[in-house]
Amino acid sequence: MKRIAVVLVDWNGIEVTMPCLESLKAINPSGDFTIEIIVVDNGSTIPISSTIKNMYSDIVVFRSDDNRGFAEGCNIGINYAIESGFDYSLLLNNDTTVEPDFLNLLYSSMEENPTVGVAQPKILFQHDRNVIWNAGNRFNKWFGVTSTRGYGEKNTDKYDSTIDMPWATGCCMLIRNNLFTEHGLGLLNEAYETYYEDVEFSFRVRKKGFGISYIPSSVIYHIAGYSVNSNDETQEGRTHPFVVYLHSRNRIFLLKEYSSWHVIPTVVLYQIVYYALLIMRFLLLRRPKKLCAVFRAIIAGLNNSYHVMNRLFSSPIVRC
């Protein structure tokens, strides 16, 4: 019988993590696989391990005293899954809820197609379950632009066909663990911390010769932006400048690594225009912290500076 490890990373989000866990507990696995849930408490101000353990004694919880970023948080769960002999790892945002059959559908699609290394479901907005958040993804290599199909559109049958994609979203992706154990695929790139780490990982999956599938019959719901957007509007807006920094820097990291020589002229030209417009936007909106974040991100990206992740941690991750 196959085993699937479901990995959630939490950072001060217990109010969304608990409904996510409740929806996962409603899954009725098909007879040929079992699941185990792993929660990584990524430096939450108030540790969540005791709360989870009081409700679900069978959930594995890891705790870090520091927020190590989404990529490293996921890697803690993936490493546990690999060492424990799980066949698949499912990365799932904690601000989601799932349909009871979503994992059965992802799993069966991958079992039927052994050349598929990663699969993702259709993702709808939690606040309006008739609106699409993600119905598969695209990548324009000539401009170096990632995009999402169907965002903000009504959920119709327009995106109800299974497709092969260039990348899958880290919001929800089912990964074959033999990619790590037999094919030498590395884990999520921790230098990225958050943003584009899923795209970079997907590109490596494809370089190994495996496909990435969008399975529209499998459906989950996403709050979107829960951990990065503030409820209070400030001069800098709702999104923290650090988010702008990571997004802008990691975009450069990705394109430097994966742009083929013949598309470099158009990619560079497009990105110059993109960052110039971004700078103009923050100038006009009078958002100095975000403006500074963009300049720092460009310098860090061009200089391959990973200083965000170069931290010393006083205590290790421990299993609770």
Task: Render pLDDT for 6-42 as a digit per residue (tens, 0 to 9).
Answer: 999 999 999 999 999 999 999 988 889 999 999 999 9
Q: What share of the chain is helix, strand, coil (3-state, %, to 5)?
A: 40, 25, 35
Burial of residue 261 (CB within 10 Å: 0-12, 13-18, 19+) is exposed
Q: Residues of the chain with pLDDT > 70: what percent?
A: 92
Give the per-residue pLDDT at 239. 87
| Angle (CA) 181 184 186, round 5° | 95
Give the per-residue pLDDT at 226. 58
Enter the DSSP assignment of 169: -
Q: Residues of the chain with pLDDT > 90: what percent?
A: 83
Q: What's the rounded Cα separation, in Å, for the pair 47 and 42?
A: 9
Third-level CATH fold of 2-227: Spore Coat Polysaccharide Biosynthesis Protein SpsA; Chain A (3.90.550)
Q: What's the rounded Cα separation, in Å, for the pair 133 and 139?
A: 17
Q: For residue range 190-230, what is the model confidence (pLDDT) as tens digits? A: 999 999 999 999 999 999 999 999 999 999 999 986 555 55
Helices (H), the chain: 14-25, 49-55, 69-83, 102-112, 178-181, 197-207, 241-258, 264-284, 288-302
Give the per-residue pLDDT at 229. 54
- Extents of the domains making up the chain: 2-227, 230-302
* 116-127 mean pLDDT: 98
Helices (H), 224-263: 241-258
Confidence check: pLDDT of 103 > 80: yes
Neighbours of 60 (CB within 10 A): 20
Confidence check: pLDDT of 308 > 60: no
Neighbours of 258 (CB within 10 A): 17
Q: What's the rounded Cα separation, in Å, for the pair 70 and 169?
A: 13
Q: What's the rounded Cα separation, in Å, for the pair 59 and 233?
A: 36
* 165-170 mean pLDDT: 98
Enter the DSSP assignment of 239: E
Q: How far, CA to CA in Å, does 197 sit from each of 2, 141, 193, 230?
A: 27, 17, 7, 23
Contact 43, 64 (CB under 8 A): yes
Name 140's Cβ contacts closer than 8 Å, sequence gap at least 6.
147
Phi and psi dihedrals of 312, rounded to 5?
-105, 130
Confidence check: pLDDT of 3 > 80: yes
Q: What is the band of 314 on the pLDDT scale with cuts at 50, 70, 90? A: very low
Give the per-residue pLDDT at 315. 44
Q: What's the rounded Cα separation, in Å, for the pair 24 and 97?
A: 8
Contact 297, 193 (CB under 8 A): no
Burial of residue 36 (CB within 10 Å: 0-12, 13-18, 19+) is middle
